[in-house]
Amino acid sequence: MMNFSPELRSQLLTPQLIWFSLGHYYQITYQEAINIKIDPWWIGVKVSMKHELLDMPEQCFSTVISYQKLAYAIANFFGLNASNCGIISRSGNLATVRGTQGNYHCTTGSAGYTCTCKLYRCMNNRLVKNGESPQLLKALKRTELYETHNGQPQIRCHHLLILK
């Protein structure tokens, strides 16, 4: 079992994201994915569910998603969500971004990347600062969600993606 707090799980190990990672490979519908069991392991995230489409319903569908695959799925998912966001105002390093659940204040550039949304705060506090799931953070470093700025690690939520 990995060190994933309930808060980080609720943001990055959601049925929606798992479905986004592998639904098209296994022809899982989103409705089916809601019942998926998600266990973060050292080597990856184990997901399992009873696959109703199988001849033997008691047979469990089970696979392990690597952290790299999950990181790419997270980045793609944020990219999709970013397309539903809009920049309300931008001045220097400060911006206000409209998301689906409200407006958020962001900083960019020399001020570093920050956002007032819950997703950003959770990822920055737990993944970057507290070192929960170092495997996932390492994998996210290969995506556009991560960069270092003045030697400081920066993580991006979907609001910050559109300010890139």
Nearer to Zn ion, 4 or 120 (CB): 120
Cβ proximity to Zn ion: between 77 and 104 the closer is 104
The residue among 137 and 157 lying less far from Zn ion, judged by its C-beta, is: 157
Closest approach of Zn ion to the CB of residue 75, in Å: 14
With tokens 């507290």, the residue in question is 130
d(CA 94, CA 19): 34
Question: How many CA atoms within 13 Å lie on the side-chain side of 19?
Answer: 12
Least distance to Zn ion from the beta carbon of 77, Å?
Answer: 14
Number of neighbouring beta carbons within 10 Å of residue 136: 24
Q: Among candidates 158, 162, 161, 148, which has minimal Cα distance to 112? A: 148
Cα gap 46→41, rounded to integer Å: 7
Query: Taking the complex as a whole, how short is the minimal distance between the CB of residue 16 and Zn ion, in angstroms?
Result: 17
Q: Contact residues for Zn ion (CB under 5 A)?
A: 104, 115, 117, 120, 157, 159
Minimum gap (Å) between residue 157 Cβ and Zn ion: 3
C-beta of 49 vs 117, nearer to Zn ion: 117
